Amino acid sequence: MTDEWVTQSRYPVRFDPWLAVPESIAGSFDSAYRILRIRDEDALRRPGLAELVTWLLRFDPLAARAVALRNRDAIPALELYRRIRNEGLEGPATKVRLQQLMPSIPRVGPSLPAKDLAWADRNNPELKSTA
């Protein structure tokens, strides 16, 4: 997972790349990249926006929320639900209130206050127009 992929998903950000690998083999090799352990190997076949949002929940839940909100019409809701459940990320999804987009995601743990999330939504970086 690269910052270019996240930026193409309408959220400009910079970070060192992550190597997404099946959890079952994550400890079997060394890599110069940070390892992102993925439970659901099917998610690695053709990752899209639902997978990106799910994987961002592991290390930047606010970025996951921003990508989800900015791409809500392009993310299949059922796919997002399934990926979050398969990865066991209901807690981070609840923290950033992704239930606003997918009400069937189980609520696990506390949520950030709505006013704080509204502030973050308003103040997240926007893509600069190249036109």
CA distances, 26 to each of 4, 9, 97, 131 (Å): 23, 26, 29, 42
Per-residue pLDDT of the chain (131 residues), as tens digits, is: 888 888 888 877 888 888 999 999 988 888 888 999 999 999 999 999 999 999 999 999 999 999 999 999 999 989 999 999 999 999 999 999 999 988 999 999 999 999 999 999 888 877 665 44
Domain, as residue range, for 108: 3-123
CA distance 19 to 27: 13
Question: Is 56 part of a structural domain of the chain?
Answer: yes
Question: Is 14 part of a structural domain of the chain?
Answer: yes
Question: Is 13 part of a structural domain of the chain?
Answer: yes
Angle subtended by helix axes 61-70 and 49-59, to nearest 10? 160
Question: Is 29 part of a structural domain of the chain?
Answer: yes
Structure tokens at 123: 């103040």
Q: Which secondary structure element, helix H or strand E, spans residue 13, and what is its range?
A: none
Question: Is 128 part of a structural domain of the chain?
Answer: no
109 Rama class: left (phi>0) / alpha (psi -120 to 50) / beta: left
Question: Is 108 part of a structural domain of the chain?
Answer: yes
Say how many domains are in the chain: 1
Question: Is 131 part of a structural domain of the chain?
Answer: no
CA 23 from centre of chain: 17
